Amino acid sequence: MSSPTPNAADNVAVQPPKNRRGFLLRALVVVLVLAGLGWGLWYFLEGRWYEETDDAYINGNVVQITPQVPGSVVTIGADDGDLVHAGDVLVKLDPADAEVALQQARANLASTVRKVRGLYSNVSGAQAEVAVRKVAVDKAQADYNRRRDLAKTGAISAEELSHALDALTSAQSGLTTAQQQLQTNKVLVDDTVVASHPDVQTAAARLRAAYLDDVRTSIVAPVDGYVAKRSVQLGQRVAPGTPLMAVVPLHEVWIDANFKETQLSSMRIGQPVEIRADVYGGKVSYKGKVESLGVGTGSAFSLLPAQNATGNWIKIVQRVPVRVFFTDAKQLEEHPLRIGLSTKVEVNLHDQSGPLLAKQAPAQPAFTTDVYKQQLAKADGMIAEIIHANMAGESHEKQ
């Protein structure tokens, strides 16, 4: 038996109605148009006021620890990853040579103080000598005057008068010599006391240098931070400037974000920034602000800048480093970051009041330490003690 042949009515029932297909196409077009309008509206009202990049990395100060005096390493106080505070001893060098030099400088200062005290005594002795010479001149002058009157009457001979004149001349010469010696001695101590005498100050400067050399055998951390890149070993003989380790203050990191040059037209200093670090994914968001816009592209400051004046030049969109500072230190304490980590930054461009470049010089240092200030203060105290001990309790005023 042959199967029944489908009729025309069945074919019409199988095909979908044309008006339904047209409706679906029109609906799709309407959805696409509405989506495009919505995206355009969002872009002009909100989206165009943000610029973002994932070419951004954590950066910070890497404080190199280097010796200031030569020596052999006898102690290493910290290793990679350790937390250290400003003033903590990181490396200690053998202090034997420095201690010997310090003792020599102390002895030299004490000896110089005593010699300078002798200069003041010489002035007093020279003053007494001048007084004696003045008395001798007055006596010789009186003798000469008396004999001159007697010679006029013929009571004494001319030879005796000549001897009196010679005695007067000799006394006057002695007075002149004593006065010159007094002046020479006064020049050595004039307008000074023992502590301010040039010889004493020279010896004190040598003591300061020796004291600093002794103190610098203990190499301290200049800032709070974490130790990294330790390369020093026990017994190593190090020279001034040799890198021993580094201290990284992770509480003072920043971000160097590389934006395309086409993204900088509306970017200004001070604009708020939202930061997300890859190490925490999207769970943690940091607040920051634009601190500065780079004064050149990355390629311009590279070791081998690109030579664009060639026949095969191809235009490449350049990137400019933008420095972003964190504004909430508490966020860094709760979720610490490390040097070199990747981040994604988004700059809010609504506020256009900031400048493109800094308008004034920094009012204070960008980074500073005060761990070395007390070293010279202690040296000055030692100098004052040595001077006082060698003054034998005497009070020397200006001559």
Question: Domain containing 243 — which CATH number?
Answer: 2.40.50.100
Span 93-105, pLDDT tens digits: 999 999 999 999 9
pLDDT class for 398, splitting at 50, 70, 90?
very low
Other Cβ atoms less than 10 A from the Cβ of 309: the count is 6
- 278/145 same-domain check: no
Helix, coil or strand: residue 351: coil
Q: In this prediction, what percent of the chain has a pLDDT beyond 90?
A: 43
Domain span holding position 350 = 250-372
Residue type at 218 in one-letter notation? S
Provide the CATH number for the domain around residue 357. Answer: 2.40.30.170
332 is a domain residue = yes
Rounded-to-integer distance, Cα 214 and Cα 232, Å: 20
286 is a domain residue = yes
Rounded-to-integer distance, Cα 380 and Cα 386, Å: 10
- 225/90 same-domain check: yes
Task: Name which residue leads in pLDDT, 379 or 63.
Answer: 63
Determine the pLDDT at residue 187: 61
Task: Name which residue leads in pLDDT, 133 or 60.
Answer: 60
163 is a domain residue = yes
- 254/336 same-domain check: yes
341 is a domain residue = yes
Looking at 207, 229, 247, the residue that finishes a domain is 247
- 143/107 same-domain check: yes
- 368/319 same-domain check: yes
Decide: residue 189, CB within 10 A, 0-12 exposed, 13-18 middle, 19+ buried. buried
- 266/364 same-domain check: yes
Q: How many domains does the chain have?
A: 3
Span 56-115, pLDDT tens digits: 999 999 999 999 999 999 999 999 999 999 999 999 999 999 999 999 999 999 988 888
236 is a domain residue = yes
> Whole-prediction pTM value?
0.72
Residues 189/206, Cβ–Cβ less than 8 Å: no
Determine the pLDDT at residue 346: 93
110 is a domain residue = yes
Cα 291 to the chain's mean position, in Å? 21
Rounded-to-integer distance, Cα 130 and Cα 141, Å: 16
